[in-house]
Amino acid sequence: MTPVKSKLGLSKPKIAKARELAADIAAPVQEFIDGHTTVTIERATLRLLGADGATSDGVPVPNLIASQCADKLSGGAARYYLNALIKQDRTPAELNKEIACGLDITKFELTDLGRIRNKAEEAVKGMDARIAGNVAHRNSELARNGGAMKSPLIYVIVATGNIYEDVKQAQAAAGEGADIIAVIRTTAQSLLDYVPYGATTEGFGGTYATQENFRIMRAALDETGSKEGRYIRLVNYCSGLCMPEIAAMGALERLDMMLNDSMYGILFRDINMYRTFTDQFFSRMINSAADIIINTGEDNYLTTSDAVEKAHTVLASQLINEKFAFNAGMPARLMGLGHAYEIDPELKNGFLYEYAQALMAREIFPDHPLKYMPPTKFMTGDIFKGYAMNTLFNFVSRATGQSIELLGMLTEAIHTPYLQDRHLAIENALYVHNTMAGFMDEVEFKKEGVMARRARQVLDETIEMLSDVKRRGLFSAIETGMFAEIKRPRDGGKGFDGVYEKAPGYYNPVEDFLKKKLEIGRRPRAASRG
């Protein structure tokens, strides 16, 4: 990313105070997280240990094992899978086939824990080698062609519902100049409490996130990247009821970025808050170990709230997301905190407010690969006005040193983008980024001007909000609608029955490995230098 010299004159003590409040807010939630597991954490653990495949009816093997374990999940599912590998003297692939055909692995008498630990060490070593190999390959490719240094990275989406059609559109977009391809998930997959198996061709509004689909798209983008002389990054959605499992699949198949937010599922998908907070911690440990950049979802707040009146809720959420990510061992360089260009274009000086908000984010989070989202809320179908709005968005993105820029489409609010829509969006962005490359080095802002005053106001309102959230507690703050003006009950929502208090002797070798690798609990949790 391009370093941005401070121009807004924000108070460093106030920024530090906001971070301190976010840490105080996260602390009691982290206590709950540390004492609990979920059904999808156990399934993700099984996947990373080798559990894979599905029955003839499409029921995934990890789901079968979790169902067999039932309430035993509170002690961890891994011991039963590892025990079965020992007792049956099978490879994971062989055992998976037997489970898919009806074998209940919880019926085996548990062998000596030492033998289980030895088998776990073998499985975890294989997992680590595969993930480490993916990281090394990515870093090698980025170093070879300089792709790690470009900013902002141009991000576009594909969403045909058919993975093979997605490949065609993704390769075309990469050929036009896109740096990042995101495959939109099929509508409501976040509410499925399982991950479909195999390649899929019938999604609605997007394509199912499956490990095979990840593999297919990864191979396609590697092929195109080789032709273009660039490494093309791949993104999917590490959210919903299967958040940790999607993280595991992405780590195994070398995805580069994942949409992964600590509160998005609670607010916008009505997933239980205890489930979501616990799942996000485990998923972020996996993402961090795999060197995967996460993208948080604060842009969504501005689709339900006014982008001027509630701008401080975006910053408050970014700070909370940052703290939960630090708790999971994630460095700032992997935190693609989200925000968006969503102010009503009819508002006088709206552009200056957008500029101030984006620059404020960059100055408060100088080490983070910020993800900036385009105008959508006020797109009307007037493609000429939409193109003008996207041009201003491209200007702000480049001027404020954003790292990841999801391009706006002139046909937003009309239809799913055509290839030519993406072509125009990429052409516009490349033109703007190039023609104003040194702009920020040439300008200063008035200390009492519109932008500086606006940024100070938002920071002050953020501190006030975080103080209120700390007083109430985060669970109560969500219940009362303090974020995105959406209220969610703490004991309601989807997936609540999949949360388990860890039993004495809880065993999860993947969790133990990740915490050791990321030094969680053994060193002070990092803070940004912002």
164 given a catalytic annotation: no
Task: List 156's β-bridge partners, or say none.
Answer: 181
CA angle, corner 179, sides to 303 and 397, nearest 5?
45
Measured from the Cβ of residue 118, the count of other Cβ atoms closer than 10 Å reads 13
Rounded Cα–Cα distance for residues 95 and 435 (Å): 59
Which residue in 323, 371, 470, 494 is the catalytic one? 371
Which residue in 264, 355, 500, 506 is the catalytic one? 264
Rounded Cα–Cα distance for residues 81 and 186 (Å): 31
Q: In 350-495, where do the E strands start and end?
A: 371-373, 404-406
Whether 358 contacts 341, CB under 8 Å: yes
Rounded Cα–Cα distance for residues 303 and 378 (Å): 10
Residues of 119-141 as b/e, b for ≥16 C-beta within 10 angstroms?
bbeebbeebbeebeebeeebeeb
Nearest residue to 372 (alpha-carbon basis) of 350, 392, 346, 352: 392
Whether 410 contacts 387, CB under 8 Å: yes
Here the tokens at position 416 are: 């799913």
Strand order from edge to edge, sheet including 153-158: 335-336, 293-295, 257-259, 233-237, 180-183, 153-158, 404-406, 371-373, 338-340
Q: Say whether 76 sits in a helix, a strand or coil.
A: coil
Q: Tell me the chain's radius of gyration from C-alpha atoms.
A: 23
Return the H-helix or E-strand segment holding 168: helix 163-176
Whether 164 contacts 185, CB under 8 Å: no
DSSP string spanning 420-454? HHHHHHHHHHHHHHHHTTTHHHH----TTSHHHHH
Q: How far apart are the first and last CA of the chain?
A: 15
Percent helix, strand and coil across the chain, each to the nearest 5: 55, 10, 35
| List of residues 6+ apart from 141 with CB closer than 8 A | 147, 225, 231
**Helices assigned H by DSSP within 254-338:** 264-269, 273-289, 301-304, 311-327
Rounded Cα–Cα distance for residues 147 and 373 (Å): 21
Residues of 281-305 as b/e, b for ≥16 C-beta within 10 angstroms?
bbbbbbbbbbbbbbbbbbbbbbeeb
Sign of CA dihedral 62, 65, 71, 72: negative
Which residue in 194, 299, 494, 507 is the catalytic one? 299
264 given a catalytic annotation: yes
Sign of CA dihedral 239, 242, 245, 249: negative
Whether 14 contacts 460, CB under 8 Å: yes
Q: What residues act catalytically? A: 264, 299, 371
